[in-house]
Amino acid sequence: MQADKAVILLGGKGTRLSALFPDIPKALVPVSGRQFLAWQLDWLLANNIKQVLLAAGYMGDKIENWVKQQPFKDQVSISIEPMPLGTGGAVKYAVQYRVGKESFWVLNGDSLLPDLNFANMEKAHRKSGVLGTIAVTAIEDSGRYGTVVFDKNGKITRFEEKKNRGAGWINAGIYLLDSSIFSSISPAENISIENEIFPKLAAEGKLSVFQAKPPLLDMGTPQGLKNMENYLAKKQEFSPPTSTSVIPDLIQPS
């Protein structure tokens, strides 16, 4: 069965942009004439994602009111966490009554990886037999990011914290996850996907990467927002990739 459901994580306060946009949630920050969430939803729907669940928190009511006015409102629903639950807790709270036993996508709510081939990532995920697959992309200066280290088979061996380094593979904030990952989490548990769930899965050999073509666009900082503006100003619409993307040969797996 195709993984056609996605959860977008929108619970953060967006503190690095709050000085510029103090009264609106980060997801609704205008980017090249549209709210960022509109761009992100267009991207997902163009890639055969049928239903999107917004895992909201801070200013979630404003996001909910915005969704009600959009043409894609029937394909989008929202869950507003009653308290900060971390990324893992937010997903659990959001999907507990909405997702069955199938795998589903999880995405950060402040980034785009426009050349990601969702279909190829899903094929790789199912072939590997893992419980989770992370989209990673290579950048020449990975210093402000943590990096993902993986073996020749794509199995993740460890995550490295931010440090002064050159080229590296970074987490692009897009995951395809088996629903069983969240079965043991209580609906009110505060837990992090990145810091608690993923390291455990990696240690068990149940977490892989999918190498995706850049750019990774991140509007979480003023400079990142400017870079995204420049990219999307030239973009008319999103469409699924028609061929296998070429991955930059910046760094080899360990």
Does residue 250 lie within any of the structural domains? no
Question: In angstroms, rounded to a whole number, what is the distance separating the alpha carbons of residues 54 and 72?
Answer: 13
Does residue 246 lie within any of the structural domains? no
What is the length of the chain? 254
C-alpha distances (whole Å) from 176 to each of 6, 143, 152, 210 are: 9, 26, 20, 10
Does residue 237 lie within any of the structural domains? no
C-alpha distances (whole Å) from 240 to each of 47, 107, 118, 212, 235 are: 5, 17, 8, 13, 14
Residue with tokens 């380094």: 165
Does residue 17 lie within any of the structural domains? yes
Q: pTM higher than 0.85, yes or no?
A: yes
The residue ranges of DSSP E strands in 178-226, in sequence order, are 207-212, 217-218
Q: Which of 114-128, 142-156, 221-235 is predicted most confidently?
A: 114-128
Question: In angstroms, rounded to a whole number, what is the distance separating the alpha carbons of residues 169 and 164?
Answer: 14
Q: What is the structure's pLDDT at 76? A: 96
Phi, psi of 19 (to 5 degrees): -65, -30
Check pLDDT > 50 for residue 250: no
Q: Which domain holds residue 119?
A: 5-232
Give the CATH number, domain containing residue 100: 3.90.550.10
Check pLDDT > 80 for residue 166: no
Does residue 238 lie within any of the structural domains? no
Q: Residue 12 in contact with residue 26, Cβ under 8 Å? A: yes
Question: Which tops the pLDDT comparison, 235 or 206?
Answer: 206
Q: What is the structure's pLDDT at 249? A: 47
Q: Residue 44 in contact with residue 52, Cβ under 8 Å? A: yes
Does residue 247 lie within any of the structural domains? no
Mean pLDDT of 99-117: 91
Question: In angstroms, rounded to a whole number, what is the distance separating the alpha carbons of residues 34 and 125?
Answer: 33
Question: Which tops the pLDDT comparison, 216 or 242?
Answer: 216
- Strand pairing of 156-160 and 76-80? unpaired
**pLDDT over 90 percentage in the chain:** 69
Which is nearest to 159 in space by CA: 134, 176, 182, 141? 134
**pLDDT over 70 percentage in the chain:** 87
Catalytic residue, chosen from 13, 123, 162, 226, is 162
Please state the domain count of the chain: 1
Does residue 178 lie within any of the structural domains? yes
Does residue 18 lie within any of the structural domains? yes
**162 pLDDT band (50/70/90 cuts)?**
low
Encode burial over 119-138: b for 16+ CB neighbours within 10 A, e otherwise. Answer: eebbebbeebebbbbbbbbb
Active site residue 162: yes
Question: In angstroms, rounded to a whole number, what is the distance separating the alpha carbons of residues 158 and 125?
Answer: 18
Q: Which of 19-28, 77-86, 193-202 has the lowest mean pLDDT?
A: 19-28
